[in-house]
């Protein structure tokens, strides 16, 4: 039995993410869309503490909208713990405590980070010792973004976003995140994209089921060049998110006016990610946007994936 397994609790930290590039293709028969995306893990974290228990239970604290987080089997962290127990024939339970910092339904993969952290925490607490490959498989079964939260760093995601290849990334990128009090539902935003594409007649020319990340985006990450990355920031879901939340465009405009190189909707939104040339500018952008009554946060990436503290 490992040292962790004999301890009373295990504390794991997992990061939220930004999709610096998100190309959305056609919808597969299972309802999921083909993606070509680049994830970057950023320094905004979910903390999950797992303690031995006979049954499965969950508490959640942290961000403002914490009351909207389900505490039953709809919660991805709870599902992660039960999936691991089933997969390893572990017969006990776990008391999970989640301390959230990533906005709820914000397009930053907060729920996915909880699931990745719960997998790592329970594996250590129970001493189940799963291989990285099996851990990845379980993560992918929980949700398209969960494998990335396990691995962290910068990675290209294809398939549903769950087939990961690490991307070389040099240096540090500074981002100002503007969070929203009210979240956006990911399925609603994908559905809106399909409707918008249908209205534009684009479905006559079916969206591809296999797509790639543009080379200049990968080059910008490899060279740590924020200016070049700013030119490549792209999100196919942005029009759909802006349709649901027209104010988001204004947030991007204000961020750029305040000194950001460029901004985009993170994932399915509504969080806006503003790329800044350096930490000092990011501080300035944060101060200006706060003065305008917004809720900005300065973070940096890439950072590591789910880790035991």
Question: Is residue 57 marked as binding?
Answer: no
> How many CA atoms lie less than 13 Å away from 166 in the CB half-sphere?
11
State CA 77 to chain mean position distance.
Answer: 14
Catalytic residue among 47, 114, 123, 145: 145
Shortest CB 193 distance to ligand C5P, Å:
9
221-250 positions binding ligand C5P, by CB under 6 A: none
Shortest CB 97 distance to ligand C5P, Å:
23
The answer to the question of residue 144 lying near ligand C5P (CB under 6 A) is yes
145-164 positions binding ligand C5P, by CB under 6 A: 145, 160-161
Name the residue among 296, 264, 269, 302 with its Cα closest to residue 283: 296
Shortest CB 107 distance to ligand C5P, Å:
11
Cβ atoms of residues 66 and 60 within 8 Å = yes
Question: Would you call 145 a catalytic residue per the annotation?
Answer: yes
# of chain residues touching ligand C5P (CB under 6 A): 12
Question: Is residue 171 marked as binding?
Answer: no
Query: Binding segment for ligand C5P among 29-37, 121-129, 170-178, 288-296 (CB under 6 A)?
Result: 29-37
The answer to the question of residue 33 lying near ligand C5P (CB under 6 A) is yes
Shortest CB 1 distance to ligand C5P, Å:
34
The answer to the question of residue 143 lying near ligand C5P (CB under 6 A) is yes
Cβ atoms of residues 144 and 36 within 8 Å = no
165-194 positions binding ligand C5P, by CB under 6 A: 186-187, 190
Shortest CB 197 distance to ligand C5P, Å:
13
* CB of 155 or CB of 226, closer to ligand C5P: 155
Question: Is residue 68 marked as binding?
Answer: no
Query: Binding segment for ligand C5P among 6-14, 49-57, 140-148, 176-184 (CB under 6 A)?
Result: 140-148
Question: Is residue 161 marked as binding?
Answer: no
Name the residue among 246, 25, 48 with its Cα closest to residue 149: 48
The answer to the question of residue 32 lying near ligand C5P (CB under 6 A) is yes
Specify binding-site residues for ATP. 103-113
Residues interacting with ligand C5P, by CB under 6 A? 31-33, 35, 143-145, 160-161, 186-187, 190
**Residue numbers annotated as active site:** 17, 145
């Amino acid at each position: 039995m490992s040292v962790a397994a004999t301890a009373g609790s295990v504390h794991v930290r997992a990061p939220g993410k930004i999709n610096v590039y998100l190309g959305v293709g056609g919808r597969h028969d299972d309802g999921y869309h083909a993606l070509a995306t680049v994830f970057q893990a950023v320094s905004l974290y979910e903390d999950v503490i797992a303690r031995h228990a006979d049954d499965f239970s969950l508490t959640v604290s942290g961000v403002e909208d914490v009351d909207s987080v389900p505490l039953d089997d709809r919660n991805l962290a709870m599902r992660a713990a039960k999936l691991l127990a089933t997969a390893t024939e572990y017969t006990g339970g776990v008391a999970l405590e989640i301390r959230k910092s990533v906005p709820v339904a914000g397009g930053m993969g907060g729920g996915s980070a909880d699931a990745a952290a719960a997998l790592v925490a329970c594996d250590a607490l129970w001493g189940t010792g799963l291989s990285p490959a099996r851990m990845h498989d379980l993560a992918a079964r929980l949700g398209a973004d969960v494998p990335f939260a396990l691995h962290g760093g910068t990675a290209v995601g294809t398939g549903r976003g769950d087939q990961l290849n690490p991307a070389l990334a040099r240096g540090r990128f500074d981002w100002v995140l503007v969070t929203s009090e009210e979240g956006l539902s990911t399925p609603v935003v994908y559905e809106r994209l399909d409707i918008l594409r249908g209205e534009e007649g684009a479905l006559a020319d079916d969206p591809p089921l296999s797509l790639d990340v543009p080379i200049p985006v990968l080059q910008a990450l490899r060279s740590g060049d924020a200016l070049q990355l700013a030119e490549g920031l792209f999100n196919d879901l942005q029009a759909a998110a802006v349709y649901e939340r027209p104010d988001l465009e204004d947030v991007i405009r204000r961020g750029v006016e305040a000194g950001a190189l460029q901004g985009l909707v993170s994932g399915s939104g509504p969080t806006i990610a503003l790329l800044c040339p350096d930490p000092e500018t990011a501080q300035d952008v944060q101060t200006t946007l706060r003065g305008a009554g917004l809720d900005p946060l300065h973070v940096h990436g890439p950072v590591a994936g789910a880790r035991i503290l």
